[in-house]
Structure 1
Amino acid sequence: MKCWANYGIIKMFRYRPGPMTFLEKAIFLFGFTIIWGYPLSFFFIGSQWFLLMVYISTVIAFFMTLKTFLCSRCINFACPLNCVEIKAKKEFFKLNPKIADAWDEDV
């Protein structure tokens, strides 16, 4: 398992295992909304309905691909997009007891 979202990014903060706080999740989702929602206003203002449909289709395809092929194998269990099977999570926690403690999981 590997987290593709953080691959190659400079680590600016100290590692903190465990679930995200509500504020962290809100900031994460707000960031996605801003980045992916920004072009929508221009499509509406310019009445570019075909491009709007293409853009929405592309965004949906992107997130479906992300969830299917990347987020289903990611070790970042705190991420709201993570969809790793519970069996794989339990196996990971069994092999990493310190992280299991941070998540309050029984090993």
Structure 2
Amino acid sequence: MSPAKPREVFIQGVTTDGRIFRPSDWAERLAGAMSCFRPEGSVGGIGAFIGYSPYCVPRVINGIKCVIVNEALRDVELMAWDFVMNFARDNHLQVADACLLPEPGTGKPPKD
């Protein structure tokens, strides 16, 4: 039996009262703040800081900016998990448990 895949939480750029969240680059900023949290054994070095963490990535889904947060972040750094979840709560953002389905025939997640 394989271990359960960690769930993904989608923080959507829409408030609970239906307004689009601002600033428009909020998702990139939040994911950028989490960029240093990476899986154990990740390659280090001079360019390692460039790019988003696989645990917290910005995406546009159906025209809505989102940040997809992998629950594995909780095991890597509980305070980072709390930070992103509190960000969503404090800003009244809609949050959903979901998973990205791969594009048919590719096994890759959908493009932005």
TM tier, smaller: under 0.3
TM-score (norm 1): 0.27
TM-score (norm 2): 0.26
Higher helix share: 1
